[in-house]
Amino acid sequence: MRVAMLAPIAWRTPPRHYGPWEFVTSLLTEALVARGVDVTLFATLDSVTAAKLDGVVPAPYNDNPSIDAKVWEFRHLAHLFEQADRFDIIHNQADFPAHAFVRLVDTPIVTTIHGFSSERILPMYAPYQDRVHYVAISAADRHPDLRYAATIHHGIPFEDFPFDPSGSDDLLFFGRIHPDKGAAEAIRAAQDSGRRLNMYGIVQDEDYFLREVAHISDGLAVVYHGSVGGTERLKALGHARALLHLVNFDEPFGLSVIEAMACGTPVIATRRGSMPELIEHGVTGFLVDSHEEAVGAISRIDEIDRAAVRRVAARRFTVDAMADAYLRLYEWILVQRDDYALRGSLRAKV
């Protein structure tokens, strides 16, 4: 099986720090290669992979201001689709712009929808569902107007996330500094619980950061550390009493949630979007509906067995499970295509 894996170009694949779509794309690519699948990764030229790397974009547009995102995104897409006939499957991880090309080629297309962000993107999804096999990353993120080939949760390499059996007394916020992600809510919950809060993540809304985070981060009770990667990131995820994920939107998945659980850190999350799919209430964390419930959950966090948190997460969110699910989908698509071609050939002979 020859698979073309289309990565976004906002960040390198895998990302150096932030870049959840690129992170998942990399994990799946490497897992497929390990299973003997012939994968070509179309990504920025500084990407790192065991697959064949192909591309024309010299660097991620978020790292290099000389890269015009729109210009190079379509150059990136054209480069792949001009050679679409080389592949059995094209797996699009780069959102809806790729759909502009799908009726120009015969190769089956899979699009992983990394969060259905707005009704405004529907015109680039609904008209193409006769040609594209859509994958939702959670049941909560399925749009009622679309047909889906599968729902496949993200997986992570648990061996890369060291288990911390005790954590610390501090709470953790880990995500984009943006109103959606609930940074201000995490600060207020931590303050009212009397616990220190460590905050990590890129600033996506500068005004919100200055208004809600910067003047409160005092280096004592609330500490903003910026964006981190590598061992510092793993230490942050594991060395916490709990992750506060008090989001203000219907979170389509939440990689930081399962990464924290992989380290044994329980999660206190707003009962929205995919959170009830990811968190087993009272086992891997708590689901809450208000500020008061969040503060109450913090006071109960020692009821959670950190070993059980990791054990449950490892049963549900592995890279192997994700890769196996995608392989089954690819194989099903190719069988359907071959059956359709065979039926057409038989009809032509009658």
The pLDDT, as a whole number, for residue 339 is 62
The pLDDT, as a whole number, for residue 190 is 97
Q: With beta carbons less than 8 A apart as the criterion, state whether 95 and 73 touch.
A: no
Q: Read off φ and ψ for residue 143, nearest 5 degrees.
A: -95, 135
* One fold for 2-155+318-349 and 158-314: yes
Q: Which listed CATH number (3.40.50.2000, 3.30.465.10, 3.30.420.480, 3.90.1150.10) goes with 2-155+318-349?
A: 3.40.50.2000
Cα distances (Å, whole numbers) of residue 138 to 115, 150, 199, 306: 9, 10, 26, 24
Distance CA 129, CA 118 (A): 17
The pLDDT, as a whole number, for residue 341 is 52
Element (H, E) at 335: helix 319-349
The pLDDT, as a whole number, for residue 76 is 98
The pLDDT, as a whole number, for residue 86 is 97
The pLDDT, as a whole number, for residue 251 is 94
Going by the DSSP 8-state scheme, the letter that residue 121 receives in this structure is G
The pLDDT, as a whole number, for residue 211 is 92
The pLDDT, as a whole number, for residue 3 is 98
Q: With beta carbons less than 8 A apart as the criterion, state whether 123 and 96 touch.
A: no
The pLDDT, as a whole number, for residue 134 is 98
Cβ-count burial of 70 within 10 angstroms (0-12 exposed, 13-18 middle, 19+ buried)?
A: exposed
Q: Which residues of the chain have pLDDT under 50?
A: 340, 342-343, 345-350
Task: For domain 158-314, give the CATH number.
Answer: 3.40.50.2000
Domain ranges of the chain: 2-155+318-349, 158-314
Distance CA 199, CA 224 (A): 5
